[in-house]
Chains A and B, each alone.
Chain A
Amino acid sequence: MMHGGGSGSSSSGAIPKRGGNGSSESLSSDSKSSFSKDSQGQSSTSSTSNEPHISRYQSSAVFSSDRPANGEEVPVIPGEKLQRMSRDVTYLCPFGGPIKGNLYLTNYKLYFASKDRQNTFEVPLGVVNRVEKVGGVSSRGENSYGIEIFCKDVRSLKFAHNPENHSRREFFEDLQQLAFPISKKLLPFAFSYSEQFPEYGWSVYEPIQELKRLGIPNESWKITRLNDKYDLCDSYPSVWAIPAAAEEELIRSVASFRSRSRLPVISWLHPFSQASITRASQPMVGVAARRNKDDERYLQMILDANAQAHKLYVMDARPNANALANKTKGGGYESEDVYQNIELVFLDIHNIHVMRSSLGKLKDICYPTIDDSKWLSNVEETRWLEHIKCIISGAVRIVDKVENNKTSVLVHCSDGWDRTSQLTSLSMLLLDPYYRTLKGFEVLIEKEWLSFGHKFQNRIGHGDDRHSDADRSPVFLQWVDSVYQITLQFPYAFEFNEYFLITILDHLYSCRFGTFLYNTERERWTNDLKKKTVSLWSSINSRKELYLNPFYCEETGANRVLLPKENDLVSFLVILRLH
């Protein structure tokens, strides 16, 4: 394509339009999968034009792909078995054009290797969102007969099968079976995975120890095991801390007044001022403006636990209108007239459905092609950044109240497991340098997300073929993105690096580790996850050096509160790099 023309005709524009042909295209295609940047290191393949796209999938196979793939073998991880292989499959790369090769299916991943084994990539089956057949046997045209795989992480893969050997049907059926085990009443791959790691990740978070770190129990807070059998609140952990003055009856009464019994319990306690961050679900006020004296008393106790303040801030993560609308469904918010000494603030964060559609729009503009000329306004239109900004500024407000005003803050949304988790964990990250270390961050996820019942199963849809389920939403992804934004603004304050965040996101979908399976601590306990699966933290903590930020220095971050600029739209430009 390098034309050496132009002699004589001076006015001929020698530059071809971008995206015109092969190699200039490949250059621009890098961007679309800039996600791949971290995983590149492990890839042994070299630079063909489609590599950037391919290599993205290797990020999930950091530990396995350094094994050589000779002949027709598939590199496998312990517990992984080859199930099916399909020869003469063409991978239709949206950037580099079709590549012929073999497609392998194991119980963990899809693995594609080109004929010369130069190009390989893998997709953990957990990432598969939807599989569709394309074209029939009679379809005309090259590569029009095959399957298309839509993934949970933005992209879609197209494979063309050879119509003659009828391999497609079997492959498709096996894929359905293996990719959606939950729908088929089977167990996800995490239960077969048997790799041994020197570190034991399930013990990273010990609730009692973490509460002790916060100085609990003390004179105003106590640890309770009321929920030991998960009968008081099935989506809460078994151990939590409440105001010391609250007795069991009161707790039961408060739980009955809160949506799904998720009563206010402590997330974080300021080590010096005793200002606390508590989390809950909405009170069941309803249109009739029901009251519950015990709930009012309980909130007063939370306020009283902090001697320095005379007011409790109730941060309702929802927009005012949504909170109001919830009254018709029996929910609502604390009225300042009824509850003494509280101040109610709405943080204007939208619900999971808005976030889902926002991410959907983001996917549309990123993959497979980017309209370069409208890139910026397209990004703006998705409003993804605006939502992130909302979350960050919500967290900043909480931090402001806790740190500057020394007041306690109660955070809730509707059910208290999506937006509430985002806000509490983000503000804790800003307030407490411990959570900015590698281990602390793992604790933070275990505590605020996993133990407090963020519904990972429903939000991600592990092994579930109902791809348009309205319960799915990128809440956790959005939170990680917010964290990423903050790491950009404070490059020295975090012990971990971007690759750590990306690895977490990769395994959020991959179903290789038990960490993000199921909705609640109760379900994880019932299914004995700690025994039957491996924790993601086992793997990460065994290779810590990969995830450390070389510029981290404790002194800048330690004991200091981060206050990010929520107005700094510009750094958000980088956001898409995460996808």
Chain B
Amino acid sequence: MLRKMGSFRSYVGLEEYEMKSPKTNSEGIQPDFLSGELVISEALNVLKFTSLSKKKGISGSLFVTNARVIFVSNEKRREIEDAVPLLSINMLWYFETSKTTPGAKKHRRVVKLGPSSVNNPSIIPSGSTRVHEILIACSNFKSFRYSFKFSPLDNGLRICNSIIHHSFPLQIDRLFYFDYSKAASENWRHPINSFISVPSFLEKGDWLKELNIIRSNSGYRISSANEGFQLCGSLPEWIIVPADLIDVKLISLAEKLKGTRPPHWSWADSKGGGILRMSKLNSENDCSAESVFFEVCRKAHPKKQQPIIIDLDVELPTKEIRQSFTKLFELCCPESSLQYEEMDSRFYSLLEHTKWMLLISKSLHIANYAGRLITENQDFIILQEHESRDTACLSSSLIQVLVDARFRTVSGFFQLIQKEWIAFGHPFHSTYMHTSPVLLLFLDCIQQLMKQNLVDFEFNDKLLATLWESSFDASRGTFIFDTPQQRKLMDHWKDHTSWGVILSDRDANNDNDESIMPVHSPKTSSAPLLPGSLANPLYKLKSLLYPPTLSSSGTYPLSTVLRCSSTLCDLNFWANLYLSRTFNIPSSIMGLDPGDIISSPVSTEQTNTPSSTSPEGSTETQFLYPQNSSKSEYYAIGRDPTRELKVVELLLAALSSSTRYRRHSPGVSLSQTNRTGLRDKDSKVSTGGFSYPSGPGASPTGPNQPYVQQQLDGKRKPFIYQQ
């Protein structure tokens, strides 16, 4: 149905790039909007640049709706090319000239949206200017550049204004979520993963279960002091407190604490180690109530040990995290290619200047320290923070990931976030405008742990990145609210969570059949389906390398405690997320965009290289790039977890049939010393930050390693991966 269009060549500002002539109407462009999505403004003949150098562009239409900024190209009229949730827009640059004085200089202006400019976005003076171009930088570290060169005169300004006005509604009930849930709930069908049930931790039953799991029956009880949110709205109605603390005392203590938030237990083991979060006193002068509480905690401890108090306001100030995030964002989303090249050579010192890595190091250090106290000393940790809603979430969940293997599975990890962040009232909306640097810091810390402990996590860092993106996805209620109270009052669609969305992994399902292959988590059939692209392929090796410990008698099996190094030089910059720009960075050396390289057809004869074994023959030279530059792909440098997963599965299959391995099979399990020794070595291996692909499977980690290698070697050839 596409009409053939006349060719128009523009030499203005578009460095010799041939492009289609601007269309004059948008008839037929009708993208699929979400239920409840309304168009606020639209611009026609918008040119989307696909590289920083502004050399390449696609023509299309741009819509601003109450949920997203949508770009639809003229070529594919129904497919949405870019969909940027309004909540994710972090920074908006626009380039304007005055309408009245033609030929006037272009001005570049920046509008900071979201967390960096709560309540006070600057508004463009309308009427007298023309906006030529906008650059949107999103919280997921992607940027989009659109030019209005060929659009009707006022389109750019309209788009710009509607983004600024509509992206961050102050009242929570103006969020798109409410429009969407109202419109969509009627004809909503369950997505594949909708049965993943993550307890909300807002109900009493969830907490009872939690107490049962950790078998910490003595010493704690469920208090209903906050029933009906009479103490505070930012905590669930049921919280766990030391058993000796009666409600009256709890209430009187809460009243002296910031936000009248009573101390709330979040995790414990059966030997006395545990984590409790509490806010600071309103007035530092009167600390008697606090001391009494600490004494109660001491008595609750099986060995009557003093609790350890960690003051997070001192160790990890929230303010620093916010500042650091802003700098990190500016570093990773530069405004122009010039800026990119300029920063390239100084990237390290600029990165250091953001202090982001330092914050990761600090967070990991705190968690490490606390984790060791808990496991080695059975200490009870009290995390104290201003209102215990920010870094307390981070530290508490990080410690739990370190000490409890349960939280390293997908469902456990989701539960952890639901409990520590959502139920305990991390202020996603009011404080962070849906871009919480604290949450990102947490995810980055987990990413570091993954890099250092290759086989311990069920999922990979793409899941973390997806989780980060869904934290500003306004179509799900999980990360929308500030407090459990709001959630209870306003959320009418509770089973429609982000968790299922994360696991459905839209990107992967669209274009890659292989990645759909679901991975059943080992436990039960009711466990969530984890798509291969989100799974950690080496997780399955874990049981092989460290056979499950025999004793469940409450002693700490060494293998459940995660080791990590918090020194800066061991940390890994999360390039997959932070440098996930949608532009192709122009290759400064060759002056070629990857897409420009033409595959050269070559003859198939004369293949005396070993490549001649390749089945489909070598009809053309194929260039391999370290990453897929397609925008929907998670930017993993050269990595493909789905592929790795297959290798590991074949390896495991080969091993189970191998007689040599049977000698070490669980029946004749390795002795305790051997096992711990193995574990120990591996933790060293990991702290070294071993590069992923050659991970434990490749390094001679233990006595059974050579078998792994040999089997794998033999089984290598059969895989044929079509690129």
Contact = CB atoms under 8 A, between A and B. Distances in A.
Interface of A: 2, 4-15, 18, 24, 27-28, 30-31, 34-38, 40-43, 46-47, 51-52, 55, 62, 212-213, 215, 271-273, 366, 370, 372-377, 379-380, 385-386, 393, 396-397, 400, 403-404, 406, 432-434, 437, 440, 487-493, 497-499, 544-546, 548-571, 573-574, 576-577
Given A403-B600, A437-B610, A545 B709 contact: yes
Contacts of A372: 361, 567-569
A30 B592 CA distance: 42
B281 A10 contact: yes
Contacts of B706: 545-546
Contacts of B677: 46
Contact of A396 (B589, B621, B687): B589
Contact of A565 (B306, B349, B626): B626
B693 A14 contact: no
B310 A491 contact: no
Given A14-B309, A574-B691, A550 B585 contact: no
B220 to A, nearest CB: 19
Interface residues of B, number: 119
Given A10-B384, A396-B590, A574 B572 contact: yes
Contacts of B377: 2, 4
3 nearest A-B residue pairs (beta carbon) = A37-B688, A34-B688, A491-B693
Interface string B680-696: 11001111111111100
B680 A4 contact: no
Interface of B: 280-281, 284, 287, 290-291, 294-295, 298, 305-311, 314-315, 344-349, 351-352, 357-358, 361, 365-366, 368-369, 372-373, 376-377, 379, 384, 565-570, 572-573, 575, 579, 585, 587-590, 592, 594, 597-598, 600, 602-603, 606-611, 613-615, 618, 621-627, 637-640, 643-644, 647, 651, 677, 680-681, 684-694, 697-702, 705-706, 708-710, 712-713, 716-717, 719-721, 723
16 contacts: A7-B294, A7-B306, A10-B281, A15-B366, A31-B687, A215-B608, A271-B607, A273-B602, A370-B569, A403-B623, A489-B638, A554-B614, A557-B624, A566-B589, A567-B585, A577-B691
A573 B618 contact: no
The winner among A433, A545, A566 for most chain B CB atoms within 10 A is: A545
Contacts of A433: 609-611
A569 B347 contact: yes
A375 B305 contact: no
B305 A40 contact: no
Nearest to A43: B681
A367 B305 CA distance: 40
Contact of B701 (A18, A40, A406, A549): A40
B344 A573 contact: no
The winner among B305, B352, B566, B569 for most chain A CB atoms within 10 A is: B569
A549 B698 contact: yes
Contacts of B575: 568, 570-571
B694 A497 contact: yes
Given A5-B306, A34-B570, A553-B647, 6 more contacts: A6-B309, A15-B315, A52-B684, A551-B694, A556-B723, A567-B344
Nearest to B366: A15
A437 B610 CA distance: 10
Nearest to A385: B348
Given A491-B638, A570-B573, A404 B600 contact: yes
Nearest to B306: A7
A551 B594 CA distance: 25
Nearest to A401: B590
Contact of A550 (B347, B368, B637, B647): B647
B701 A41 contact: yes
A375 B687 contact: no
A564 to B, nearest CB: 6
B548 to A, nearest CB: 21
Nearest to B636: A491
A499 B693 CA distance: 12
B274 to A, nearest CB: 14
Contact of A7 (B307, B626, B712): B307
B690 A37 contact: yes
Contact of A377 (B352, B621, B697): B352
Nearest to A546: B700
Contacts of A544: 713
A376 to B, nearest CB: 4
Contact of B291 (A7, A31, A212): A7
Contacts of A41: 681, 699-702, 705
A120 B678 CA distance: 18
Nearest to B351: A376
Nearest to B706: A545
Given A10-B309, A406-B600, A548 B712 contact: yes
Given A10-B384, A376-B349, A565-B625, A489 B637 contact: yes
Contacts of A497: 693-694, 698-699
Given A6-B308, A30-B684, A498-B690, A559 B614 contact: yes
Contacts of B615: 555
B565 to A, nearest CB: 5
A549 B690 CA distance: 13
A386 B700 CA distance: 32
Contacts of B720: 555
Given A404-B597, A560-B622, A552 B716 contact: yes
A557 B624 CA distance: 8
Given A15-B366, A437-B610, A568 B637 contact: yes
Contact of A499 (B344, B680, B699, B713): B699
A375 B567 CA distance: 10
A13 B712 CA distance: 50
Contacts of A553: 643, 647, 716, 719, 721
The winner among A376, A379, A544, A568 for most chain B CB atoms within 10 A is: A376
B560 to A, nearest CB: 17
A379 B348 contact: yes
Nearest to B349: A377
B567 A4 contact: no
Contact of B692 (A434, A491, A545, A561): A491
A560 B623 contact: yes
Nearest to B717: A554
B291 A8 contact: yes
Given A2-B377, A4-B306, A14-B309, A550 B712 contact: yes
Contacts of A47: 680, 684
A564 B344 CA distance: 16
A31 B565 contact: yes
A376 B568 contact: yes
A27 to B, nearest CB: 7
A385 to B, nearest CB: 8
A550 B649 CA distance: 12
B709 A546 contact: yes
Contacts of A403: 600, 621, 623
A565 B586 CA distance: 10
B647 A551 contact: yes
A38 B348 contact: no
Nearest to B343: A569
Contact of A554 (B579, B587, B613): B613
A497 B693 CA distance: 8
B567 A31 contact: yes
A499 B694 contact: yes
A414 to B, nearest CB: 23
Nearest to B284: A11
Contacts of A370: 567-569
B369 to A, nearest CB: 5
Contact of A567 (B588, B602, B603, B639): B588
B609 A271 contact: yes
